[in-house]
Amino acid sequence: MIEIEGSSGNIYEDLQVADADAMHLKALLANKIADIIRHRHLTQQQAADILGISQSKLSGLLRGQFRGISETKMIECLNRLGRDVEIVIRKAPRSHAQGHTQVIYS
């Protein structure tokens, strides 16, 4: 019998990666960057020129290789792609020992 375990919603946490929250956040930001590039029908070189990064670095980001790219740089990329990014800080619910970070697209 195969035992199936439910996901926490964060694959990096499920795989017990040390910096799971940061990696999940970067994955969400990278996904949105990829969506915008795809929606605008940009080549990787065109997008890299807009973002101010090399095409090879963008290629890696789009393939999930974003360990060397900070969240700040990814937010800057979203700004360069014409997106406003808001950071909202609020008190976590009492039921949580600590707060968490999430990305909400609108």
Percent of the chain with pLDDT over 90: 55
20 token code pair: 């799971």
The percent helix, strand, coil of the chain (3-state, each to 5) is: 45, 0, 55
- Model pTM score: 0.82
Which pLDDT score is estimated for 56? 95
Q: All domains of the chain, ordered by start, with CATH?
A: 12-80 (1.10.260.40)
